[in-house]
Structure 1
Amino acid sequence: MSLINERQDFSTIADTFLLHGSMQSPAFLDGRLCASLALHDLDAEGWLEMVCLNLGVEQPRDEPSAERLLGWRRQTLEALSAAEMNYEPLLPDELFSLAERAQGLQEWTLGFLEVVRDAGDEPRRNWSDSLREAIDDLSGLTDIETDLDDSPENENDLFALTEHARMAAMLLYTEQHPGKPQVEQVEEPGPTH
Structure 2
Amino acid sequence: MSLINERQDFSTIADLFLLHGSMQSPAFLDGRLCAGLALNDLPPDAWLEQVCLTLGVEQPRDEPSAERFLAWRRQTLEALSAAELGYEPLLPDDLFSLAERAQALKEWTLGFLEVVEDAGDAPRQGWSSALREALEDLAGLAGMETDLEESPENEGDLFALTEHVRMAAMLLYTEQHPGKPQVESAEAPTRH
Q: TM-score, normalised by structure 2?
A: 0.96
Amino acid at match of 2:51: V
Q: Deviations over 1:31-66 (max 9, x none)?
A: 000000000000111100000000000100011111
1:191 corresponding residue in structure 2: none
Alignment of 1:125-144 (within 5 A): 125-144=125-144
Find the counterpart in structure 2 of residue 97 from structure 1. 97
Given the alignment of the two structures, is residue 80 of structure 1 paired with residue 80 of structure 2, yes or no? yes
Counterpart-to-counterpart distance in 2, 1:134 and 1:170: 11
Structure 2 residues without counterparts, runs of 5 or longer: 188-192
1:183 aligned counterpart, secondary structure: coil
Structure 1 stretches lacking a partner, 5+ long: 188-193
Aligned to 1:3: 3
Give, in whole Å, the separation in 2 of the partners of 1:5 and 1:44: 16
1:2 Cα deviation after fit: 1.7
Shift of 1:19: 0.4
Shifted more, 61-70 versus 101-110: the winner is 61-70
Q: Percent identity?
A: 82
Q: Does 1:61 align with 2:90?
A: no
Name the residue aligned to 1:71.
71
Q: CA deviation at 1:70?
A: 0.5
Shift of 1:14: 0.2
1:81-103 deviations in Å (ceiling 9; x for gaps): 00000000000110100000000
Q: Give the number of aligned pairs.
A: 187
Aligned-pair CA distance for 1:171 = 0.1
Q: Residue type of the partner of 1:126? A: G
Tell me how far apart the structure 1 counterparts of residues 127 and 79 of structure 2 sit (CA, whole Å): 21
CA RMSD of aligned residues (A): 1.0
Distance 1:179 1:128 in 2: 15
- Show the counterpart of 1:153: 153
TM alignment of 1:13-32, pairs within 5 A: 13-32=13-32
Partners of 2:161 and 2:144 lie apart in 1 by 9
Task: Report the Cα distance in structure 2 between the residues aligned to 1:90 and 1:186, rounded to whole angstroms.
Answer: 31
Runs of 4+ in 1 over 4 A off after TM superposition: none
Q: Quote the offset at 1:186 in angstroms.
A: 6.9
Residue of structure 2 in register with 1:107 after alignment? 107
